[in-house]
Amino acid sequence: MIYLDYNASCPPPPAVIDVVTATLDDAARGALGNPSSSHAAGRRARAIIETAREAVADSADVAPRDVVLTSGATEALGLAIHGTVAALERDAPGAARPHVIASAIEHEAVLAALQTEVARGRIDLSIVAPDAEGIVDAGRVEDALRDETRLVCLLAAQNEVGAVQPFGAIAALCHRAGAVYLCDAVQGPGRGISLASIDADLIAISGHKIGAPPGIGALIRRRPNALVAMIEGGPQEGGLRAGTENTPAAAGFACAIERLAYDEDVEVARCEGLRARLVEGLGRLDRPVSILGPAERGRRLPQTVAVHIPESDSEAIVAALDLEGVAVSAGSACASGALATSHVLTAMGLDERAARGVIRISFGWASTEADIDGALEALRRVLTRF
Ligand code: PLP
């Protein structure tokens, strides 16, 4: 199997598997309990949770108390959006309806949560389009600002095309305007964008995008604003996220984050090499293809390549590559039986036909030159049939 879908989920490295397995072994022996229990097994679990919190906090340069562990980025983003809007309504009843700005290339987790708030009549929403390379110009966000703007959502790097966004300029803009900046940084860590470099008020991250098991993520509160909890129950996570913590995943999360800390520069350089090999190979296919998004380093992720194959059907190509043992993603998603065109690609100006001919190849720590060559060979074979 050649796995080139790291932006969907990054395989856990051996060190992560070891700590998660050890945690489960401890639980099986009765040495690890519920982190809220006061006995030794509970205290052991609590220590693992707090170590994960500290690892996230250190990597973002915030205090551990400003990290809310969640089930993943979708939940962190939902807490940030619904929690902020609910707190505004609670704390300023009768005030003008809050205005929110979001880019058109946010993940569905952001766009769906915002649409829900629009439907509830709790916010006015402005959507800002990216340019043809998938980058949102800070000037466009500035133009959309109003006196009532309370929240701005712009991700750090776009997951489908890898375009890196001007999060520094947006942070400065939001601080001047007194708006909360929520940055979805899921595709940042391990891909050359450190959390410490993101000066957003709220930052969402996901464990399984950096090699932790699925089921863990975090909302980082660099400048904590008022938030109302979305999941109610016990007092976990400072009252912002009830429910028993995922101790095995937290152990893996801490390990994955610590691993990034000493590996990242080398890994980014290695991925740049793999990317160059892939792009060169794509240029030698019998059929002309083009790479979407920015070409220059720094303006794009090192390990994400969105390929437009004219007059093709990406779902069919992904299925054919799957049969060849190669895992990549389509730039469009099949929802409830109907082929939905990617909102990101259409926002970048691709028409529906073109957007249906885009595949995403993304790689990471376990990817090798042989994987890239094998995927190119499989693609060459597949394209003779489409
Ligand atoms: N945001 C971005 C940019 C993503 O790529 C993803 C996952 O694809 C998410 C949010 C959702 O993350 P999770 O799977 O942790 O809910």
User: For residue 339, what is the enclosing H or E element?
Assistant: strand 338-340
Query: Residue 231 corresponds to which amino acid?
Result: I
pLDDT for 93: 87
- Ligand 1 centroid to Cα of residue 155, in Å, is 11
Nearest of 353, 384, 368, 348 to residue 105 by alpha carbon: 348
pLDDT band at residue 335 under the 50/70/90 scheme = very low
Measured from the Cα of 75, ligand 1's closest atom is: 16
Tokens of 40: 């030794």
pLDDT tens for residues 229-258?
Answer: 999 999 999 999 999 999 999 999 999 999
- Ligand 1 centroid to Cα of residue 306, in Å, is 17
76 within ligand 1 shell (Cβ under 6 A): no
The radius of gyration computed from the CA coordinates of the chain, to the nearest angstrom, equals 21
Query: Residue 157 corresponds to which amino acid?
Result: A
Measured from the Cα of 8, ligand 1's closest atom is: 8
Helix (H, G, I), strand (E, B) or coil at 74: helix
- Pair 155, 130: CB distance under 8 Å: no
109 within ligand 1 shell (Cβ under 6 A): yes
User: For residue 304, what is the enclosing H or E element?
Assistant: strand 304-308
CA distances from 182 to 75, 78, 171 (A): 13, 11, 9
Q: Which of 206, 208, 342, 360 to mutate to test the pocket of ligand 1 (most atoms within 8 A of CB)?
A: 206
Q: Which of 154, 209, 253 to mutate to test the pocket of ligand 1 (most atoms within 8 A of CB)?
A: 209
pLDDT tens for residues 134-149?
Answer: 999 999 999 999 999 9
pLDDT for 329: 96
- Ligand 1 centroid to Cα of residue 304, in Å, is 15
Which amino acid residue places its CA nearest to atom 13 of ligand 1? 73
Measured from the Cα of 157, ligand 1's closest atom is: 3
Contacts 24+ apart (CB under 8 A), 172-175: 172/199, 173/138, 173/141, 173/142, 173/145, 174/200, 174/201, 175/199
Q: What is the dihedral of CA 24, 25, 27, 29, to 10 degrees?
A: 170
184 within ligand 1 shell (Cβ under 6 A): yes
Measured from the Cα of 72, ligand 1's closest atom is: 15
Give the Cα separation of 123 and 227 in Å (integer).
Answer: 16
Q: For 203, list phi and psi in degrees, rounded to 5.
A: -130, 130
72 within ligand 1 shell (Cβ under 6 A): yes
- Ligand 1 centroid to Cα of residue 217, in Å, is 10
pLDDT tens for residues 281-313?
Answer: 999 999 999 999 999 999 999 999 999 999 999
78 within ligand 1 shell (Cβ under 6 A): no
**% of the chain residues with pLDDT over 90:** 94
Active site residue 334: yes
Nearest of 206, 163, 251, 220 to residue 9 by alpha carbon: 206
Given CA atoms 316, 317, 322, 325 in this order, what sign does their dihedral have? positive
* Cβ neighbours of residue 92 closer than 8 Å, sequence gap 6 or more: none
183 within ligand 1 shell (Cβ under 6 A): no
Q: Which of 161, 186, 241, 360 to mutate to test the pocket of ligand 1 (most atoms within 8 A of CB)?
A: 186
pLDDT tens for residues 105-142?
Answer: 999 999 999 999 999 999 999 999 999 999 999 999 99
Query: Of 10, 183, 271, 334, which residue is the catalytic one?
Result: 334
Report the predicted TM-score, pTM, of the whole model to 2 decimal places.
0.97
- pLDDT exceeds 70 at position 338: no
* Cβ neighbours of residue 55 closer than 8 Å, sequence gap 6 or more: 253, 254, 257, 258
Tokens of 348: 């970048």
CA distances from 270 to 107, 253, 298, 312 (A): 27, 23, 15, 31
Helix (H, G, I), strand (E, B) or coil at 358: strand
User: For residue 360, what is the enclosing H or E element?
Assistant: strand 358-362
Average pLDDT over residues 86-99: 94
CA 54 vs. chain centroid, Å, equals 20
Measured from the Cα of 187, ligand 1's closest atom is: 3
Which amino acid residue places its CA nearest to atom 5 of ligand 1? 159
Which amino acid residue places its CA nearest to atom 16 of ligand 1? 74
